[in-house]
Amino acid sequence: MDLQAFFTMSYGLYVVSSVFDGKQNGCIVNTVTQVTAEPPKVSVAVHKQNLTAELIEKSGVFNAVPLTEDATMQMIGLFGFREGRGMEKYANIPFDTDSNGICYPTQSAAALFSCKVIDRLDLDTHLLFVGETVEARRLSDLPVMTYAYYHAVKKGKTPPKASSYIPISK
Ligand SMILES: Cc1cc2nc3c(=O)[nH]c(=O)nc-3n(C[C@H](O)[C@H](O)[C@H](O)COP(=O)(O)O)c2cc1C
């Protein structure tokens, strides 16, 4: 199989967050996709070992924020390379709270989608959550960061728990 072929797929970069029992957390994903229009539903694939997956499983709600191109590597590092168990990712960044009581970043945020989980598929390493959108709002008109921009311009890396991870040697 030519794993390089997967590099032709396009994505955005999102912070997906959830809350359960007072614990707020979020992580970077590139796997948010709108899957239906009426009503608007989105799907997201989250690694089972990520705290964010556990919080979505337990609460049945999540939100997704597409990042804009001005998102710093510091912010992407906080949400995409650090684990929420044992730390509070929202402690030192500007945030607001959606109608489900879930935090979301307000800096470098293009929009807010708040979702209620209506289905879930076990994909071995990841859980695919399907969410019905209960709130959608534009937050900025700046260009959104694509996965390609993250790699080509920001020189960003993709960690092993990402759905699209491809080992360097392949
Ligand atoms: C560019 C990029 C894309 C990522 N895509 C995903 C993804 O689609 N699904 C996922 O579960 N993790 C993805 N990750 C990895 C998580 O963000 C990472 O494992 C994070 O530390 C999990 O945090 P948590 O344990 O606090 O939830 C991605 C990370 C980066 C930097």
**In a mutational test of the pocket of ligand 1, which residue from 47, 75, 124 has the highest number of ligand atoms less than 8 Å from its CB?**
47
| pLDDT tier, 164 (very low <50, low <70, confident <90, very high otherwise) | confident
Which 3-state string (H, E, C) describes the chain? CCHHHHHHCCCECEEEEEEECCEEEEEEECCCEEEEECCEEEEEEEECCCHHHHHHHHHCEEEEEEEECCCCHHHHHHHHCCCCCCCCCCCCCCEEECCCCCEEECCCECEEEEEEEEEEEEECCEEEEEEEEEEEEECCCCCECEHHHHHHCCCCCCCCCCCCCCCCCC
pTM of the model: 0.97
Residue 20 has φ and ψ, to the nearest 5°, of: -150, 135
Question: For atom 12 of ligand 1, which residue has the closest CA?
Answer: 162
**Residue 25 CA: which ligand 1 atom is closest?**
26
11 CA → ligand 1 middle, Å: 14
Q: Which residues have C-beta atoms less than 6 Å from ligand 1?
A: 13, 25, 27-31, 45-47, 50-52, 76, 80-84, 150, 156, 158-159, 161-163
Average pLDDT over residues 25-46: 98
Give the pLDDT confidence score for residue 168 in this predicted structure. 62
Average pLDDT over residues 163-170: 73
The overall average pLDDT reported for the chain is 96
Least confident interval from 76-80, 115-119, 159-163? 159-163
Task: Decide if 42 contacts 64 (C-beta within 8 A).
Answer: yes
| pLDDT tier, 169 (very low <50, low <70, confident <90, very high otherwise) | low
Give the pLDDT confidence score for residue 170 in this predicted structure. 45
